[in-house]
């Protein structure tokens, strides 16, 4: 079976000057949520849960869009292929990396790795809190503030203990840290490729290239 990265539908097609609104909203929305929940919110807090539930909605929406969206947003436009990713990186080093209609092969692997890790973070977060909603967390916090500690005597306290033991909390923490590492690698990769290809890769995810706007 032919590698889809070398087929005619991938070759010689310029990348988008502007990604569609849903791709951009899900990209920046998830990025904001990951940074906020990893660095600025407390695990189990109402805000942490709100952001987690919104992140889950954005991820699900992006996955649906990978089937129903425009060509460059579909999974078929950037299938995961380690061999193609290595070939792209070699081409990047030698200055002969081609353009793609969507993510390049290396970027595609990063996208899938990020989505899988994010799904693990969300899934273990749900197990860790017993599926507690932000409204329930806010209600429990208000009860504790008023001196009613009985709400904490449950199957889960939002801190890692659940009917599954401490494993969900441990996996959640490891996966959350991995998300930050992947995000840092993504930013570095975008910077390196933008310089090597002499093309701004950030602009299409914001408001489009100058050529598109002009």
The 10s digit of each residue's pLDDT in 10-67 is 555 667 889 999 999 999 999 999 999 999 998 888 899 999 999 999 999 999 999 9
Q: How many domains does the chain have?
A: 1
Answer yes or no: is pLDDT of 160 > 50: no
CA distances from 214 to 32, 41, 112, 209, 210 (A): 29, 41, 33, 8, 6
We report the CATH number of the domain holding residue 150 as 1.20.950
Using 50, 70 and 90 to split pLDDT, how confident is the model at 191? very high
Domain annotation covers residue 2: no
For residues 198 and 175, the model is more confident at 175
Closest CA to 120 of 178, 36, 166, 78: 178
Q: Is 11 contained in some domain?
A: no
Per the model's pLDDT, the better-predicted residue between 114 and 146 turns out to be 114
**Does some domain include residue 13?**
no
130 lies in some domain: yes
Per residue in 157-194, is it b (16+ CB within 10 Å) or e — as a string? Answer: bbebbbeeeeebbebbbebbebbeebbeebeebbeebe
Residue with token string 């695990």: 43
* pLDDT of 7 over the 60 cut: no
Q: Is 187 a member of any domain?
A: yes
Q: Cβ atoms within 10 A of the Cβ of 41, count?
A: 17
Domain range for 109 is 19-208
Residue 207 has pLDDT above 90, yes or no: no
Can you give the pLDDT at residue 8?
Answer: 41
* Mean predicted lDDT score pLDDT of the chain: 83
User: What pTM, to 2 d.p., does this model score?
Assistant: 0.82
Identify whether 45 is part of a domain. yes
Give whole-number Cα distances, 195 to 68, 86, 191, 200, in Å. Answer: 32, 19, 6, 8
Q: Taking residues 134-149, what's their average pLDDT?
A: 64
The residue to which tokens 């990893």 are assigned: 38
Q: Is residue 8 part of a domain?
A: no
- CA distances to 66, 125, 168 from 131, in Å: 26, 8, 12
pLDDT digits (tens, 9 = 90+) for 90-138: 888 887 778 888 899 999 999 999 999 999 999 999 988 877 777 776 6
Please indicate, yes or no, if residue 70 is contained in any of the structural domains. yes
């Amino acid at each position: 079976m032919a590698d889809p990265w070398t087929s005619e539908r991938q070759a010689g097609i310029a990348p988008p000057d502007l990604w569609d609104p849903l791709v951009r909203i899900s990209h920046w929305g998830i990025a904001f949520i990951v940074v906020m929940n990893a660095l600025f919110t407390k695990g189990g807090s109402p805000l942490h849960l709100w952001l987690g539930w919104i992140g889950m909605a954005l991820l699900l929406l992006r996955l649906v869009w990978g089937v129903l969206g425009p060509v460059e947003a579909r999974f078929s436009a950037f299938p995961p292929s380690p061999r193609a990713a290595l070939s792209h990186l070699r081409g990047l080093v030698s200055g002969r990396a081609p353009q793609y209609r969507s993510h390049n092969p290396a970027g595609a692997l990063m996208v899938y790795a990020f989505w899988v890790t994010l799904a693990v973070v969300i899934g273990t977060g749900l197990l860790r809190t017993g599926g507690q909603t932000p409204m329930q967390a806010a209600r429990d916090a208000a009860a504790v503030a008023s001196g009613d500690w009985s709400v904490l005597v449950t199957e889960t306290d939002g801190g890692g203990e659940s009917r599954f033991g401490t494993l969900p909390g441990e996996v959640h923490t490891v996966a959350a840290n991995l998300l930050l590492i992947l995000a840092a690698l993504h930013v570095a990769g975008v910077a390196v490729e933008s310089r090597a290809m002499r093309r701004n890769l950030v602009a299409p995810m914001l408001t489009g290239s100058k050529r598109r706007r002009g």
